[in-house]
């Protein structure tokens, strides 16, 4: 569940953003703030994964809050929402680590895209102890989730076989290792592992190390 707070001095805009959040899956509103002081207090008192931050608050700009938020709550993502399109606002927002930048008035589709991007990135990082280069590329990518996935399958990944692997994983509640999957799909362990690692890189699967009776670690895969 993504815990989201709203910092917006216009209660009508805040209400719209709250309605947008209600339409999204796995999202919970933790509170709303009308100014910067209330926003900081909200972060202090309520666990927050994502802050929707208006730039022009009555007491401070949202932009001026970003460095403080980064220092005090490094695990909180911030989406800056503002009517400003000036370079002097956009550039520092990027440098201070804003997860996204939305120009008012906000459409639901743009809002949904920004929140889902944060959800996907957090899930990708939290589901894996080690990240491959493909996974790291996704973390730092600004591409919309799944927009170009069908045409970007890497060499050696067949879409029909990939779907078969997904279907097999879906039935394995306790997880499955590469050798077991290879036997089930009639392929080598290396081939099975290639598909499993691809699913991890795309955020659709996760892997955990489990220790058997003799203490030998085993990498087991689960569908996210």
- Pairing of the two strands 217-223 and 205-211: antiparallel
| Strand 77-82 versus strand 205-211 pairing type | unpaired
3-state secondary structure 163-223: HHHHHHHHHCCCCECHHHHHHHHCCCHHHHHHHHHHHHHCCCEEEEEEECCCCCEEEEEEE
pLDDT score of 124: 81
What backbone phi and psi angles, to 5 degrees, belong to 160?
A: -70, -45
Nearest CA to 2 among 21, 24, 28, 32?
28
Q: Mapping DSSP to helix (H, G, I), strand (E, B) and coil, where does residue 24 land? A: coil
3-class DSSP state of 34: coil
Ramachandran category for residue 97: left, alpha or beta (phi over 0 → left; psi -120 to 50 → alpha): left
Sign of the Cα pseudo-torsion (140, 144, 148, 149, in order):
positive
Q: Which residues of the chain have pLDDT under 70?
A: 139-152, 212-216
Distances in whole angstroms, Cα of residue 204 to Cα of each of 120, 154, 167, 185, 195: 10, 15, 12, 19, 11
DSSP one-letter code for 176 = B
Instruction: Estimate to the nearest angstrom the gap between the alpha carbon of 77 and the chain centroid.
Output: 10
Cα 42 versus chain centre, distance: 22
- Domains of the chain (ranges plus CATH)? 2-126 (3.40.50.2300), 133-223 (1.10.10.10)
Gyration radius of the chain over CA positions: 21
């Amino acid at each position: 569940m993504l815990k989201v707070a709203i910092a917006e001095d216009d209660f009508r805009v805040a209400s719209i953003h709250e309605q947008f959040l209600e339409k999204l899956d796995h999202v919970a509103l933790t509170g709303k703030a009308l100014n910067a002081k209330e926003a900081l207090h909200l972060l202090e008192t309520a666990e927050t994964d994502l802050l929707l931050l208006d730039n022009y608050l009555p007491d401070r700009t949202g932009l001026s809050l970003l460095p403080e938020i980064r220092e005090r709550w490094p695990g909180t993502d911030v989406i800056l929402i503002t009517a400003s399109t000036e370079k002097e606002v956009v550039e520092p927002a990027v440098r201070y680590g804003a997860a996204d930048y939305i120009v008012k008035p906000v459409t639901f589709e743009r809002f949904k895209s920004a929140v889902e991007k944060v959800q996907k990135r957090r899930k990708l990082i939290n589901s894996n102890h080690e990240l491959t280069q493909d996974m790291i590329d996704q973390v730092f990518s600004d591409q919309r989730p799944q927009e170009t996935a069908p045409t970007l399958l890497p060499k050696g990944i067949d879409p029909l076989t990939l779907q078969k692997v997904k279907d097999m994983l879906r039935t394995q509640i306790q997880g499955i290792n590469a050798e077991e999957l290879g036997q089930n799909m009639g392929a080598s362990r290396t081939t099975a592992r290639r598909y499993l690692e691809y699913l991890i890189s795309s955020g659709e699967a996760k892997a955990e190390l489990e220790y058997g009776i003799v203490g030998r670690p085993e990498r087991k895969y689960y569908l996210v």
